[in-house]
Amino acid sequence: MREALVAAAFELFLDRGFEQTTIDDIVSLAGVGRRSFFRYFPAKEDVVFPDHERSLAEMTEFLDSGTGEEDPVKYACAAARLVLRMYAEQPSFSVQRYRLTRKVPGLRAYELSVVWRYEHTLAAYLRGRFADRPDGPLRADVIAAAVVAAHNHALRTWLRSGGESDWVAEVDAAMAFVTSTWNDRPADSAPDGEDAADDVVVLVASRRAPLWRMVQGIESALGDTHRV
């Protein structure tokens, strides 16, 4: 039902325009009643961003699952990667939404409120990690803003390419810039002995386990000097 409402809404938005489409139009095309619409979406704007609540919940869970031993800046960047991966899972939908949002001022304002929630979540995590520093709150807020800005730069670059560019390379470059700028830990040294490329890790996980948890398990097994 939720997916049917989103599909109907975007068909109408692209055909008629966002402002000219009413909730009655959406439910009529989807073949449901108004009550069904409001069961899933509080307002018309929410149907344009149907996946951000799930993405925000996954980011929060990821940050909460940290051991406290991981590098806080790198970990915040890893959390931001989850959001771009969410966009990349549905490239056509993400590109359509980007183009629609550029045309509708109300949607741009709504999008800014969503971005603020991600930044607030990252800042809360970083404040906890920097609690023992005199500049902890300031440092947390500034780094959270930097992570979000770098993520959005990578996201917009990918969206402007029509979803054709390498989003992994885009976000890796953006996050590397943040970590090199704000990480005050010594650079990781190369592992002794055999080349790390020879390491073999076997991961056993439930089919329902989210991808980020499996990646976290691999990184934990390899150590902090390896990022997946």
Q: Which residues contact 54 (CB under 8 A, 6 or more apart)?
A: 86
Cβ neighbours, 10 Å, residue 214:
15
| Model confidence band, residue 10 (pLDDT cutoffs 50, 70, 90) | confident
Which residue type, as a one-letter code, is found at position 108? R
- Assess contact for 132 and 120: CB atoms under 8 A: no
The pLDDT tens digits for 84-142 are: 998 999 898 899 889 888 888 888 888 898 899 999 999 999 999 999 999 999 999 99
pLDDT digits (tens, 9 = 90+) for 11-37: 888 888 888 999 999 999 988 889 889
- Given a contact cutoff of 8 angstroms between Cβ atoms, the answer to whether 114 and 52 are in contact is yes
SS (H, E, C) the chain: CHHHHHHHHHHHHHHHCCCCCCHHHHHHHHCCCHHHHHHHCCCHHHHHCCCHHHHHHHHHHHHHCCCCCCCHHHHHHHHHHHHHHHHHHCHHHHHHHHHHHHHCHHHHHHHHHHHHHHHHHHHHHHHHHCCCCCCHHHHHHHHHHHHHHHHHHHHHHHHHCCCCCCHHHHHHHHHHHHHHHHCCCCCCCCCCCCCHHHCCCCCCCCCCCCHHHHHHHHHHHHCCCCCC
Residue 49 — very low, low, confident or very high, per pLDDT cuts 50/70/90? confident
User: Which is more confident, 95 or 195?
Assistant: 95
Average pLDDT over residues 178-188: 72
Nearest Cα to 140, choosing from 75, 202, 223, 198?
Answer: 75
Report whether pLDDT(228) > 70.
no
Tokens of 199: 């390491």
Residue 219 pLDDT greater than 80, yes or no:
no
Distances (CA, A) of 80 to 18, 60, 164, 194, 206: 29, 11, 20, 32, 24
- 226 has a pLDDT exceeding 50: no
